[in-house]
């Protein structure tokens, strides 16, 4: 597994990271045994970063990850978790709320510290100035206390993520659905700012919350209709050529070496194996060009998320 530097942290992280959303049943039911098998297979393949959150399955993702790592695997992997988002529409970015959320995460993860702690989906805050001050302050306090090694924030709007980087002395950020076959604004617009500030960037949701898959997105996917239609057309093109749009999308992200790691949320070993094969196999340049042509009318089109302007 290719290891890449994560900003100024000193960490070298695997180009593929394991995301915990699916382990929290976000995309359908999975068992504790399936999660444990997937985590062990990922670590054996060289994956050294697991990303999760208190929000995923209302703590279930962290519980299952903690149980899987308790069997002698904790020291072989970096854990990134997130605090502040408690449910689909429940957020608490106050210092006290962040502490409560994080302390519960540590218990579920069966550890006394994590490598990376993020404020989760900060675009849903009702006072961004307090996020840049109070929330950032409690993150740095937890870092000084040794409960996390590095701190950061995550959100969808790149403008808000840029403001957080410029204001909050962050180590790491997670951006999602902004480096995909359909949208590459993470590299073209945001990455130069992150590099300037020494911030490590993790790319989440490389398949745009299920848009870039044959089965298509779930009903809650927030993309506008024209993006959904273009992605469905790209999937059909790949199907007509006996190819897999999801595989092409993963290969596209792995190939971008300026991004330290791409987080893929899978809880099943078969899905992990497909992602690992995509790393090793060369990308089909002709297919990529054809898919990019289909997606060109919606290239870099984003959508509104949360309360950010």
Residue 56 appears among annotated catalytic residues:
yes
- State residue 119 phi and psi, 5-degree precision: -80, 130
Distance of CA 80 to the CA centre of its chain: 10
Contact status, residue 61 vs residue 104, Cβ threshold 8 Å: no
Q: Which residues pair with 26 in a beta bridge?
A: 28
- CA dihedral of 203, 6, 251, 187, whole degrees rounded to 10: 60
Q: Which residues pair with 176 in a beta bridge?
A: 204
Contact status, residue 291 vs residue 238, Cβ threshold 8 Å: yes
Residue 192's closest CA among 166, 156, 154?
Answer: 166
- 271 CB burial (10 A radius; 0-12, 13-18, 19+): middle
- Other C-beta atoms within 10 Å of 297: how many? 12
Contact status, residue 51 vs residue 77, Cβ threshold 8 Å: no
Q: Helix, strand, or coil here: 203?
A: strand
Q: Which residues pair with 16 in a beta bridge?
A: 262
Tokens at residue 61, please?
């993702």
Please pick, among 56, 150, 179, 254, the residue that the annotation labels catalytic: 56
C-alpha span between 125 and 97 (Å, rounded): 13
**CA pseudo-torsion sign 3, 119, 57, 184:** negative
| Phi-psi label, residue 58: left if phi above 0, alpha if psi -120 to 50, beta otherwise | left
Annotated active-site positions, please? Answer: 56
């Amino acid at each position: 597994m290719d290891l890449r530097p994560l900003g100024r942290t000193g960490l070298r992280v695997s180009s593929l990271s394991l995301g915990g959303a699916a382990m929290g049943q976000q995309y359908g039911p999975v068992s504790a045994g399936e999660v444990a098998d997937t985590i062990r297979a990922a670590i054996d393949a060289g994956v050294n970063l697991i990303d999760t959150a208190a929000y995923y399955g209302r703590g279930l993702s962290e519980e299952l990850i903690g149980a899987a790592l308790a069997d002698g695997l904790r020291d072989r992997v970096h854990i990134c978790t997130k605090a502040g988002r408690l449910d689909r529409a429940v957020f608490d970015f106050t210092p006290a709320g962040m502490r409560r959320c994080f302390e519960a995460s540590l218990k579920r993860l069966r550890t006394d510290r994590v490598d990376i702690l993020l404020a989760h989906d900060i675009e849903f805050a009702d006072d961004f100035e307090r996020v840049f001050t109070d929330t950032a302050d409690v993150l740095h306090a937890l870092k000084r206390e040794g409960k996390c090694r590095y701190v950061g924030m995550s959100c969808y709007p790149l403008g808000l993520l840029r403001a957080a980087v410029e204001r909050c002395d962050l180590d790491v950020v997670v951006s999602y659905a902004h480096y995909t076959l359909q949208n590459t604004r993470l590299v073209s617009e945001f990455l130069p700012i992150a590099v300037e500030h020494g911030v490590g960037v993790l790319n989440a949701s490389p398949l745009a919350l299920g848009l870039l898959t044959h089965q298509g997105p779930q009903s809650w996917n927030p993309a506008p209709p024209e993006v959904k239609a273009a992605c469905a057309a790209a999937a059909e093109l790949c199907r007509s050529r006996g190819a897999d749009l999801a595989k092409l999308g993963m290969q596209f992200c792995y190939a971008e070496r300026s991004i330290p790691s791409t987080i893929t949320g899978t809880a099943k070993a078969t899905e992990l194996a497909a992602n690992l094969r995509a790393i090793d196999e060369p990308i089909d340049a002709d297919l990529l060009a054809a898919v990019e042509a289909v997606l060109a009318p919606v290239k870099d089109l984003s959508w509104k998320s949360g309360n950010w302007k």
